[in-house]
Structure formats: C-alpha cells, structure tokens
C-alpha cells in the first residue's frame, strides 16, 4: 500500500491515494447511481449517476476523516504519523511505531470508528432536517449516513488488523500483559473473518445469485486474510527486533582490499575463497573508499578482469548506504529492503567494522523467534 500518489497534506501528514481507489470510486458511482436511478424515477439518468459520483467522492472524504481521527489521536499520544494512504478498501494511517501501551492502542484504534459513527449521526440529522426538500440532496445525505454507519460497524469487527481487532488486541494485551499472545489471538480472529467472508461471498455469488456482491465480499475476505497474516508477521518481527542494535547481528568486518587490486585478484583471492558477495575497498590509511560487490564485478567483461582495478568499478562511499554499530536493526533492515540491498557496511569513524548481511540477519531472526516461542510455551 506504500505505492500511491501524494495528493496533498494535512497538518504535516502526507495524503497518498493508491490507484485502486479509482476502482472504488467507479464501483460506488455505478452502484449508487444505479440505486438512485431505480429509487427516483423522476430523475434523469445523468442526474442519478452524477450524484452517484458525488456520493463516491464524499465517501472518499469521510474515509479520510476517519483516518485523520486515527492519525491525530496517535500523534496526541506521542506516535508520529507521516502518511495516510487511501486505497480500494479504505485507508491506512502509517504509524512509524507500534503503540507502547494497551491504552494508547485502544484510543488510536477506537478513534476511527467513533468518528465514522459521529459522521453518520451528523448526516442523519441533516437528512431528517431537510426531509421534504429536494430529493437530490436528501438522497446523498441518506447514503452518507448509512455508508458511514456500515464503515463504523465493519471496522469494529474484532479481527486484526481491522480497528476492532486492534481494540480486541489492546484489551487482551491489558489483561494478559502479553502483546505477542494478544496479537496472535486478534490476528487469528481476523483470519477467521477473512475465511468467513470468502465462504459467504462464494455462497452469495453461486447460490444467492448476486454475483457482483458475492465476488466483492469474497475479495474483501481474501484481503482480510492476507492482511491478518502479514500484520501478525510484522508485529512479531517488530517485537523480536525491539532494542536490537546492528552490532549484535553484524558479521565481523571482512579484511578490506586496496583500491589498486584487480577484479581478477579480488574475485579469486577474496570473494571465492571467503564466499563473500561484497568486499570493502580501503585507502592506505584504512578508511573506507567503497564497496566492491558481486553486481559491480558482473558489469566488467571477463577479459578485462586482470587489468581493471577495484577502485574503478566499486560502489564509492558517496553512493553507498551505510549504517553504524549502534543503529537499530529494524531501521537498518527497513533501509535495506527499501533499496533492495543484500548487505550494508557497518561504518564507525570512517572504518568498516562489520557487514550486515540480509541472509544472516533473517536466519538470526528465525532462531531468536523460535527460542522466544519455546520460552513462552515453557511458561504457560
């Protein structure tokens, strides 16, 4: 959901719209326009679908307000929020950190559905107040009142990562004091609702006869199932990585090579013998000049290996992403994932003190995770 176009920002929070939102607007325009067309035969077809489109756009605005309620509650509780992304199933507030206490998680999670309930109430009051006025106005108000009520109820389904799942997680977390178990329970319920929606959707499509609604429901179920699984893994990962520094996981610094060493010598004398994919290239004083990686080597034709110095093809320091021994492992891994690096040199005072290798780190995480589960099983 990270990929989207930034449309504007509110109070320093970037609002991104994923391309899939266009599909959502189209579906709302079509289905609401269709409903208006049947319900108000006196309207022209154009009016019905234009108001369908207006309803879709206003739904977009109310979903955004729902997300802003999450974001501003998070920020008021010391959790920075940089972006909100709107996509086909609604919105996501991208918290940079997980809430530190059950109370904060509860408040941040409940803020969105409460806001949707308030919006639904406001639209309902306006709908009643303007009753007898132009049907073009009351029809849209009635739609917004009911869709926001549905949004509030849907989001309160107690399955992680829906808002209701976060509310449930915060409550289990508060009772048991065990965030891992709370996450496990809430995401299993989320997964269960996902399957329930898929089954209900398929039944609706093939037995009930409403193919579009059924497929839509199944699609939401599939999304929920995926999101529950992914969020659980992410939550476990964040938990495992808390407080771990790069120095705890990095491999010891490989002996560097000089800048004039040829590719031939670097590959045969260092990379192959040590099974390493990246060699630090150091100056005469031992300071890091750059990193010679396997992909750098692959740029050079085989015939030129014996005559090309490492300094000519290495990734030089100014183009190199590096980390420090005391950096957080979570942040370092995020940087690697973002740039698709397999290794990151760990630099201290201009010298390479280690290499962070993605493969090794993942093995380490699996081991630590397995040990943590054993310990927990032992306790209960």
What are the residues binding Zn ion (CB under 5 A)? 112, 155, 163
Rounded least distance, CB 339 to Zn ion, Å = 31
Residue 161 preceded by cis peptide, ω within 30: yes
Residue placing its CB nearer to Zn ion in the complex, 167 or 365:
167
**CA 110 to chain centroid:** 20
Is 67 part of the annotated catalytic residue set?
yes
Helix (H, G, I), strand (E, B) or coil at 158: coil
User: Burial of 247 by CB count in 10 Å (0-12 exposed, 13-18 middle, 19+ buried)?
Assistant: middle
CB neighbours of residue 174 within 10 Å: 14
Residue placing its CB nearer to Zn ion in the complex, 155 or 170:
155
CB neighbours of residue 302 within 10 Å: 10
CB 255 within 8 A of CB 281: no
CB 194 within 8 A of CB 221: yes
User: Burial of 370 by CB count in 10 Å (0-12 exposed, 13-18 middle, 19+ buried)?
Assistant: exposed
CB 79 within 8 A of CB 96: yes
Euclidean distance between CA atoms 279 and 253, whole angstroms:
9
Return contacts of 322-326, CB within 8 angstroms, 24+ apart.
322/288, 322/346, 322/347, 323/246, 323/347, 323/356, 324/246, 324/348, 325/245, 325/246, 325/247, 325/250, 325/353, 325/354, 326/245, 326/246, 326/247
- List active site positions: 67
């Amino acid at each position: 959901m990270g990929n989207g176009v930034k449309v504007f920002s509110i109070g320093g929070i970037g609002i991104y719209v994923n391309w899939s939102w266009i599909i959502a607007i189209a579906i709302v325009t079509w289905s609401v326009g269709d409903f208006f067309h049947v319900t108000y035969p006196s309207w022209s077809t154009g009016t019905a679908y234009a108001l369908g489109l207006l309803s879709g756009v206003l739904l977009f605005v109310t979903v955004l307000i729902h997300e802003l309620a999450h974001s501003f509650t998070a920020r008021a509780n010391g959790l920075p929020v940089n972006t909100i992304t709107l996509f086909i199933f609604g919105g996501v507030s991208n918290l940079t950190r997980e809430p530190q206490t059950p109370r904060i998680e509860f408040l941040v999670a409940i803020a969105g559905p409460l806001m949707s309930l308030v919006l639904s109430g406001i639209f309902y009051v306006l709908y009643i107040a303007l009753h007898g006025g132009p049907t073009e106005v009351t029809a849209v108000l009635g739609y917004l009142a009911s869709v926001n009520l549905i949004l509030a109820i849907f989001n309160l389904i107690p399955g992680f990562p829906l808002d209701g799942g976060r509310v449930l997680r915060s409550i289990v977390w508060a009772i048991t004091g065990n965030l891992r178990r709370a996450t496990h329970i809430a995401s299993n319920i989320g997964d269960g609702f996902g399957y329930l929606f898929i089954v209900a959707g398929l039944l609706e499509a093939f037995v009930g006869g409403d193919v579009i609604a059924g497929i839509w429901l199944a699609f939401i179920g599939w999304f929920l199932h995926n999101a529950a699984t992914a969020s659980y893994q992410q939550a476990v990962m964040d938990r495992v990585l808390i407080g771990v520094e790069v120095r705890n996981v990095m491999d010891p610094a490989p002996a560097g090579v000089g800048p004039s060493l040829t590719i031939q010598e670097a590959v045969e004398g260092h990379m192959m013998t040590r099974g390493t994919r990246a060699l630090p290239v150091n100056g005469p004083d031992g300071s890091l000049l750059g990193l010679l990686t396997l992909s750098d080597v692959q740029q050079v034709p085989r015939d030129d290996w014996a005559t090309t110095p490492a300094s000519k093809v290495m990734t030089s320091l100014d183009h190199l992403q590096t980390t420090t021994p005391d950096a957080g492992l979570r942040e370092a891994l995020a940087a690697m994932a973002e740039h698709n690096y397999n290794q990151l040199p760990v630099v201290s005072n201009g010298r390479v003190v280690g290499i962070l290798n993605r493969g090794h780190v993942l093995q380490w995480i699996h081991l630590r995770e397995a040990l943590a589960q054993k310990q927990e099983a032992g306790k209960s």
